[in-house]
Structure 1
Protein backbone atom coordinates (compact mmCIF):
# COMPACT_ATOMS: atom_id res chain seq x y z
CA UNK A 1 0.00 0.00 0.00
CA UNK A 2 1.82 3.04 -1.26
CA UNK A 3 -0.48 5.41 0.66
CA UNK A 4 0.57 3.90 4.01
CA UNK A 5 4.20 3.84 2.87
CA UNK A 6 4.08 7.59 2.21
CA UNK A 7 2.22 8.35 5.45
CA UNK A 8 4.81 6.30 7.34
CA UNK A 9 7.67 8.55 6.27
CA UNK A 10 6.85 10.32 9.52
CA UNK A 11 7.63 7.89 12.31
CA UNK A 12 8.79 7.51 15.89
CA UNK A 13 12.58 7.77 15.96
CA UNK A 14 13.06 5.30 18.83
CA UNK A 15 14.33 8.02 21.17
CA UNK A 16 11.12 9.86 22.09
CA UNK A 17 11.01 12.07 19.00
CA UNK A 18 9.70 12.05 15.46
CA UNK A 19 11.80 11.21 12.41
CA UNK A 20 10.99 12.48 8.92
CA UNK A 21 12.27 10.38 6.03
CA UNK A 22 11.60 13.33 3.70
CA UNK A 23 13.28 16.03 5.83
CA UNK A 24 16.01 16.65 3.25
CA UNK A 25 16.83 15.63 -0.29
CA UNK A 26 19.53 13.33 1.11
CA UNK A 27 17.04 11.69 3.49
CA UNK A 28 14.53 11.24 0.66
CA UNK A 29 17.28 9.70 -1.49
CA UNK A 30 18.00 7.23 1.31
CA UNK A 31 14.27 6.40 1.61
CA UNK A 32 13.78 5.88 -2.14
CA UNK A 33 17.18 5.58 -3.90
CA UNK A 34 15.48 4.77 -7.21
CA UNK A 35 14.06 8.31 -7.56
CA UNK A 36 15.94 11.28 -9.07
CA UNK A 37 15.38 13.64 -6.10
CA UNK A 38 15.61 17.41 -6.04
CA UNK A 39 14.21 19.98 -3.62
CA UNK A 40 11.10 20.67 -5.72
CA UNK A 41 10.12 16.99 -5.85
CA UNK A 42 10.79 16.61 -2.13
CA UNK A 43 8.53 19.58 -1.35
CA UNK A 44 5.78 18.25 -3.63
CA UNK A 45 5.91 14.86 -1.95
CA UNK A 46 5.88 16.42 1.53
CA UNK A 47 2.76 18.39 0.53
CA UNK A 48 1.16 15.20 -0.79
CA UNK A 49 2.09 13.40 2.45
CA UNK A 50 0.45 16.20 4.50
CA UNK A 51 -2.69 15.76 2.41
CA UNK A 52 -2.65 11.97 2.81
CA UNK A 53 -2.20 12.22 6.58
CA UNK A 54 -5.03 14.79 6.80
CA UNK A 55 -7.33 12.43 4.93
CA UNK A 56 -6.21 9.52 7.11
CA UNK A 57 -7.02 11.61 10.20
CA UNK A 58 -10.49 12.22 8.82
CA UNK A 59 -10.90 8.53 8.00
CA UNK A 60 -10.09 7.41 11.57
CA UNK A 61 -12.38 9.93 13.26
CA UNK A 62 -14.08 9.95 15.68
CA UNK A 63 -10.91 8.22 16.88
CA UNK A 64 -7.91 10.46 17.46
CA UNK A 65 -5.55 11.32 14.61
CA UNK A 66 -1.85 10.66 14.83
CA UNK A 67 -0.28 12.99 17.40
CA UNK A 68 2.18 14.16 14.72
CA UNK A 69 -0.70 15.79 12.85
CA UNK A 70 -3.29 16.59 15.49
CA UNK A 71 -2.49 20.30 15.77
CA UNK A 72 -1.58 21.01 12.15
CA UNK A 73 -3.88 19.12 9.83
CA UNK A 74 -4.37 20.38 6.31
CA UNK A 75 -8.05 21.29 5.73
CA UNK A 76 -9.88 18.38 4.11
CA UNK A 77 -10.95 20.29 0.98
CA UNK A 78 -7.34 21.34 0.39
CA UNK A 79 -6.12 17.78 1.02
CA UNK A 80 -8.63 16.41 -1.49
CA UNK A 81 -7.47 18.96 -4.06
CA UNK A 82 -3.80 18.08 -3.52
CA UNK A 83 -4.44 14.33 -3.87
CA UNK A 84 -6.73 14.66 -6.89
CA UNK A 85 -4.39 17.07 -8.69
CA UNK A 86 -1.40 14.80 -8.07
CA UNK A 87 -3.34 11.78 -9.35
CA UNK A 88 -4.04 13.66 -12.59
CA UNK A 89 -0.35 14.44 -13.24
CA UNK A 90 0.29 11.18 -15.06
CA UNK A 91 -2.30 10.07 -17.60
CA UNK A 92 -2.68 6.33 -17.94
CA UNK A 93 -4.22 4.13 -20.59
CA UNK A 94 -5.52 0.58 -20.30
CA UNK A 95 -3.25 -1.98 -21.91
CA UNK A 96 -4.16 -5.51 -22.88
CA UNK A 97 -1.63 -8.33 -22.65
CA UNK A 98 -2.07 -11.96 -23.51
CA UNK A 99 0.00 -14.93 -22.48
CA UNK A 100 -2.28 -17.85 -21.54
CA UNK A 101 -5.26 -15.61 -20.87
CA UNK A 102 -5.93 -11.92 -21.51
CA UNK A 103 -5.22 -9.46 -18.73
CA UNK A 104 -5.56 -5.72 -18.44
CA UNK A 105 -3.34 -3.19 -16.75
CA UNK A 106 -2.92 0.56 -16.69
CA UNK A 107 0.23 1.96 -18.23
CA UNK A 108 1.63 5.46 -17.99
CA UNK A 109 1.25 7.52 -21.15
CA UNK A 110 4.23 9.76 -20.32
CA UNK A 111 7.74 8.85 -19.29
CA UNK A 112 7.99 11.58 -16.61
CA UNK A 113 9.33 9.87 -13.46
CA UNK A 114 8.34 12.84 -11.24
CA UNK A 115 4.71 12.74 -12.40
CA UNK A 116 4.58 8.93 -12.10
CA UNK A 117 5.87 9.06 -8.53
CA UNK A 118 3.42 11.71 -7.32
CA UNK A 119 0.49 10.27 -9.26
CA UNK A 120 1.26 6.76 -8.03
CA UNK A 121 1.10 7.77 -4.38
CA UNK A 122 -2.00 9.89 -4.98
CA UNK A 123 -3.81 7.09 -6.82
CA UNK A 124 -2.87 4.63 -4.10
CA UNK A 125 -4.41 7.01 -1.57
CA UNK A 126 -7.60 7.29 -3.60
CA UNK A 127 -7.85 3.49 -4.00
CA UNK A 128 -7.12 2.90 -0.32
CA UNK A 129 -9.57 5.50 1.03
CA UNK A 130 -12.34 4.37 -1.32
CA UNK A 131 -11.74 0.67 -0.69
CA UNK A 132 -12.63 -1.84 2.02
CA UNK A 133 -9.39 -1.40 4.03
CA UNK A 134 -10.24 2.22 4.87
CA UNK A 135 -12.61 0.98 7.59
CA UNK A 136 -9.65 -0.82 9.23
CA UNK A 137 -7.37 2.25 9.24
CA UNK A 138 -6.43 3.53 12.68
CA UNK A 139 -3.80 5.64 14.38
CA UNK A 140 -1.43 3.75 16.68
CA UNK A 141 -2.22 4.50 20.33
CA UNK A 142 1.25 3.75 21.69
CA UNK A 143 3.03 6.60 23.47
CA UNK A 144 4.95 8.76 21.00
CA UNK A 145 3.96 6.68 17.96
CA UNK A 146 2.81 8.69 14.96
CA UNK A 147 1.92 5.92 12.48
CA UNK A 148 -1.32 4.94 10.87
CA UNK A 149 -1.89 1.25 10.19
CA UNK A 150 -4.50 -1.20 8.93
CA UNK A 151 -5.87 -3.43 11.67
CA UNK A 152 -5.43 -7.11 10.97
CA UNK A 153 -7.84 -8.09 13.78
CA UNK A 154 -10.54 -6.22 15.68
CA UNK A 155 -8.76 -5.70 19.00
CA UNK A 156 -5.44 -4.53 17.54
CA UNK A 157 -4.37 -1.17 19.00
CA UNK A 158 -0.74 -0.90 17.93
CA UNK A 159 1.07 -0.79 14.61
CA UNK A 160 3.84 -3.18 15.65
CA UNK A 161 5.00 -5.24 18.65
CA UNK A 162 7.49 -2.60 19.82
CA UNK A 163 4.61 -0.13 20.20
CA UNK A 164 2.66 -2.69 22.21
CA UNK A 165 5.69 -3.18 24.48
CA UNK A 166 6.15 0.58 24.86
CA UNK A 167 2.48 1.01 25.83
CA UNK A 168 2.69 -1.85 28.32
CA UNK A 169 5.83 -0.34 29.87
CA UNK A 170 4.16 3.09 30.11
CA UNK A 171 1.13 1.59 31.88
CA UNK A 172 3.42 -0.25 34.30
CA UNK A 173 5.39 2.95 34.98
CA UNK A 174 2.16 4.92 35.56
CA UNK A 175 0.79 2.28 37.96
CA UNK A 176 4.10 2.04 39.82
CA UNK A 177 4.34 5.80 40.30
CA UNK A 178 0.65 6.13 41.21
CA UNK A 179 1.12 3.50 43.95
CA UNK A 180 4.25 5.17 45.31
CA UNK A 181 2.49 8.53 45.50
CA UNK A 182 -0.06 7.35 48.07
Structure 2
Protein backbone atom coordinates (compact mmCIF):
# COMPACT_ATOMS: atom_id res chain seq x y z
CA UNK A 1 0.00 0.00 0.00
CA UNK A 2 1.30 3.46 -0.89
CA UNK A 3 2.66 5.26 2.18
CA UNK A 4 0.73 8.43 1.30
CA UNK A 5 -2.64 6.83 0.66
CA UNK A 6 -5.44 8.57 2.53
CA UNK A 7 -7.05 6.21 5.00
CA UNK A 8 -10.20 6.54 7.09
CA UNK A 9 -9.28 6.99 10.77
CA UNK A 10 -10.75 4.28 12.95
CA UNK A 11 -8.53 5.12 15.89
CA UNK A 12 -10.92 7.44 17.69
CA UNK A 13 -9.64 10.49 19.59
CA UNK A 14 -6.36 10.07 21.43
CA UNK A 15 -6.31 10.84 25.17
CA UNK A 16 -6.06 14.61 25.59
CA UNK A 17 -7.62 15.60 22.27
CA UNK A 18 -10.95 16.55 23.87
CA UNK A 19 -9.20 18.88 26.31
CA UNK A 20 -6.71 20.32 23.83
CA UNK A 21 -7.81 21.30 20.33
CA UNK A 22 -4.15 21.99 19.52
CA UNK A 23 -3.33 18.32 20.16
CA UNK A 24 -6.36 17.27 18.10
CA UNK A 25 -5.07 19.50 15.30
CA UNK A 26 -1.68 17.77 15.28
CA UNK A 27 -3.42 14.38 15.21
CA UNK A 28 -5.49 15.26 12.14
CA UNK A 29 -2.50 13.88 10.24
CA UNK A 30 -0.65 10.76 11.31
CA UNK A 31 0.98 7.64 9.99
CA UNK A 32 -0.26 4.11 10.51
CA UNK A 33 1.40 0.91 9.28
CA UNK A 34 -0.95 0.95 6.29
CA UNK A 35 -0.38 4.56 5.23
CA UNK A 36 -1.04 8.20 6.06
CA UNK A 37 -4.32 9.58 7.40
CA UNK A 38 -5.14 13.25 6.78
CA UNK A 39 -8.31 14.55 8.40
CA UNK A 40 -7.85 18.00 6.79
CA UNK A 41 -7.36 16.77 3.26
CA UNK A 42 -9.57 19.47 1.71
CA UNK A 43 -11.14 22.83 2.54
CA UNK A 44 -14.50 21.34 3.55
CA UNK A 45 -12.83 19.02 6.07
CA UNK A 46 -10.83 21.93 7.49
CA UNK A 47 -13.94 24.11 7.84
CA UNK A 48 -15.83 21.29 9.56
CA UNK A 49 -12.93 20.68 11.96
CA UNK A 50 -12.79 24.37 12.92
CA UNK A 51 -16.58 24.60 13.35
CA UNK A 52 -16.83 21.46 15.48
CA UNK A 53 -14.40 23.02 17.95
CA UNK A 54 -16.15 26.40 18.01
CA UNK A 55 -13.17 28.14 16.43
CA UNK A 56 -15.20 29.70 13.60
CA UNK A 57 -18.89 30.47 13.24
CA UNK A 58 -21.12 28.02 11.38
CA UNK A 59 -21.46 30.21 8.29
CA UNK A 60 -17.90 31.46 8.19
CA UNK A 61 -15.80 30.49 5.18
CA UNK A 62 -12.03 30.62 5.45
CA UNK A 63 -10.04 31.41 2.32
CA UNK A 64 -7.36 29.20 0.81
CA UNK A 65 -4.61 31.18 2.53
CA UNK A 66 -6.28 30.66 5.91
CA UNK A 67 -6.49 26.90 5.33
CA UNK A 68 -2.82 26.90 4.31
CA UNK A 69 -1.93 28.71 7.54
CA UNK A 70 -3.92 26.15 9.56
CA UNK A 71 -1.90 23.34 7.97
CA UNK A 72 1.35 25.23 8.62
CA UNK A 73 0.35 25.57 12.28
CA UNK A 74 -0.39 21.84 12.40
CA UNK A 75 3.11 21.06 11.09
CA UNK A 76 4.65 23.61 13.46
CA UNK A 77 2.93 22.16 16.51
CA UNK A 78 3.98 18.64 15.56
CA UNK A 79 7.62 19.75 15.42
CA UNK A 80 7.36 21.49 18.79
CA UNK A 81 5.34 18.77 20.55
CA UNK A 82 7.64 16.03 19.22
CA UNK A 83 10.75 17.90 20.35
CA UNK A 84 9.19 18.45 23.78
CA UNK A 85 8.39 14.74 24.11
CA UNK A 86 12.00 13.90 23.19
CA UNK A 87 13.34 16.38 25.75
CA UNK A 88 14.85 18.50 22.99
CA UNK A 89 14.64 22.16 22.02
CA UNK A 90 12.40 22.82 18.99
CA UNK A 91 13.92 24.49 15.97
CA UNK A 92 14.09 28.27 16.02
CA UNK A 93 12.04 28.28 12.83
CA UNK A 94 9.18 26.38 14.51
CA UNK A 95 9.30 28.60 17.61
CA UNK A 96 9.29 31.69 15.42
CA UNK A 97 6.25 30.49 13.46
CA UNK A 98 4.34 29.72 16.67
CA UNK A 99 5.17 33.10 18.20
CA UNK A 100 4.11 34.92 15.04
CA UNK A 101 0.78 33.09 15.21
CA UNK A 102 0.40 34.12 18.85
CA UNK A 103 0.87 37.74 17.80
CA UNK A 104 -1.67 37.55 14.96
CA UNK A 105 -4.72 38.21 17.12
CA UNK A 106 -3.58 39.94 20.31
CA UNK A 107 -5.96 39.84 23.23
CA UNK A 108 -6.72 41.67 26.42
CA UNK A 109 -7.58 40.15 29.77
CA UNK A 110 -10.79 41.24 31.44
CA UNK A 111 -11.76 40.68 35.06
CA UNK A 112 -15.35 39.50 35.45
CA UNK A 113 -17.42 38.33 38.40
CA UNK A 114 -19.31 35.05 38.22
CA UNK A 115 -21.38 33.15 40.77
CA UNK A 116 -18.17 31.40 41.80
CA UNK A 117 -16.31 34.69 42.22
CA UNK A 118 -13.76 36.61 40.17
CA UNK A 119 -12.59 35.23 36.82
CA UNK A 120 -9.99 36.43 34.35
CA UNK A 121 -11.04 36.06 30.72
CA UNK A 122 -8.99 36.60 27.58
CA UNK A 123 -10.77 38.49 24.81
CA UNK A 124 -9.24 38.78 21.37
CA UNK A 125 -9.39 42.08 19.61
CA UNK A 126 -11.30 42.23 16.38
CA UNK A 127 -9.61 40.45 13.51
CA UNK A 128 -10.19 37.95 10.76
CA UNK A 129 -11.91 34.79 11.99
CA UNK A 130 -8.96 32.61 10.98
CA UNK A 131 -6.52 34.93 12.79
CA UNK A 132 -8.44 34.50 16.03
CA UNK A 133 -8.84 30.73 15.52
CA UNK A 134 -5.13 30.22 14.90
CA UNK A 135 -4.16 32.43 17.82
CA UNK A 136 -6.46 30.46 20.13
CA UNK A 137 -4.89 27.18 18.99
CA UNK A 138 -1.39 28.59 19.45
CA UNK A 139 -2.20 29.95 22.92
CA UNK A 140 -3.67 26.63 23.98
CA UNK A 141 -0.60 24.78 22.69
CA UNK A 142 1.65 27.11 24.70
CA UNK A 143 -0.48 26.53 27.80
CA UNK A 144 -0.30 22.76 27.28
CA UNK A 145 3.48 22.83 26.96
CA UNK A 146 3.99 25.02 30.03
CA UNK A 147 1.28 23.45 32.21
CA UNK A 148 1.17 20.20 34.20
CA UNK A 149 -0.03 18.18 31.19
CA UNK A 150 3.09 19.13 29.25
CA UNK A 151 5.07 16.47 31.11
CA UNK A 152 2.47 13.87 30.06
CA UNK A 153 2.62 14.66 26.34
CA UNK A 154 3.85 11.50 24.60
CA UNK A 155 4.25 9.88 21.21
CA UNK A 156 2.44 6.61 20.67
CA UNK A 157 4.76 3.67 21.32
CA UNK A 158 3.15 1.44 18.68
CA UNK A 159 5.40 0.84 15.71
CA UNK A 160 4.32 2.86 12.69
CA UNK A 161 1.90 5.15 14.57
CA UNK A 162 2.84 8.83 14.85
CA UNK A 163 -0.04 10.14 16.99
CA UNK A 164 0.59 12.12 20.16
CA UNK A 165 -1.45 11.86 23.36
CA UNK A 166 -1.63 12.88 27.01
CA UNK A 167 -0.78 9.98 29.33
CA UNK A 168 -3.47 9.41 31.96
CA UNK A 169 -0.96 7.33 33.94
CA UNK A 170 2.77 6.73 33.70
CA UNK A 171 2.48 3.20 32.34
CA UNK A 172 0.38 4.15 29.29
CA UNK A 173 2.40 3.89 26.07
CA UNK A 174 -0.21 3.84 23.29
CA UNK A 175 -2.60 6.41 21.87
CA UNK A 176 -5.47 3.94 21.61
CA UNK A 177 -6.58 0.45 22.59
CA UNK A 178 -6.22 -0.50 18.95
CA UNK A 179 -2.51 0.39 18.94
CA UNK A 180 -2.02 -1.37 22.28
CA UNK A 181 -3.72 -4.51 20.99
CA UNK A 182 -1.59 -4.41 17.85
CA UNK A 183 1.61 -4.26 19.92
CA UNK A 184 0.47 -7.07 22.21
CA UNK A 185 -0.50 -9.23 19.23
CA UNK A 186 2.88 -8.63 17.59
CA UNK A 187 4.64 -9.65 20.81
CA UNK A 188 2.49 -12.78 21.07
CA UNK A 189 3.22 -13.86 17.50
CA UNK A 190 6.93 -13.07 17.88
CA UNK A 191 7.08 -15.17 21.05
CA UNK A 192 5.12 -17.99 19.43
CA UNK A 193 7.48 -17.96 16.45
CA UNK A 194 10.54 -18.23 18.71
CA UNK A 195 8.95 -21.13 20.57
CA UNK A 196 8.28 -22.99 17.31
CA UNK A 197 11.87 -22.36 16.17
CA UNK A 198 13.28 -23.77 19.42
CA UNK A 199 11.16 -26.91 19.06
CA UNK A 200 12.20 -27.55 15.44
CA UNK A 201 14.64 -30.47 15.02
The interval holding the TM-score normalised by the smaller chain is 0.7 to 0.9
- What CA distance in whole angstroms lies between the structure 1 residues aligned with 2:46 and 2:63? 9
Spell out the pairing of 1:1-80 with structure 2 (5 A cutoff): 1-12=20-31, 16-33=34-51, 35=56, 36-61=61-86, 76-80=91-95
Higher CA-based Rg: 2
Spell out the pairing of 1:29-178 with structure 2 (5 A cutoff): 29-33=47-51, 35=56, 36-61=61-86, 76-100=91-115, 101-178=117-194
Tell me, yes or no, if the aligned pair for 1:143 and 1:166 is still in contact at 8 Å.
no
Give the Å deviation of 1:55: 0.8
RMSD after superposition: 2.2
- Structure 1: 5+ residue stretches without partners: 64-74
- What CA distance in whole angstroms lies between the structure 2 residues aligned with 1:125 and 1:43? 19
- What CA distance in whole angstroms lies between the structure 1 residues aligned with 2:35 and 2:23? 20
- Structure 2: 5+ residue stretches without partners: 1-19
Query: Higher mean Cα deviation, 16-25 or 167-176?
Result: 167-176
Give the Å deviation of 1:173: 2.8
Question: How many residues are treated as equivalent by the alignment?
Answer: 170
1:141–1:106 distance in 2 versus 1, CA, 3 Å:
same
Q: TM-score, normalised by structure 2?
A: 0.75
Give the Å deviation of 1:12: 4.9
- What CA distance in whole angstroms lies between the structure 2 residues aligned with 1:121 and 1:96? 22
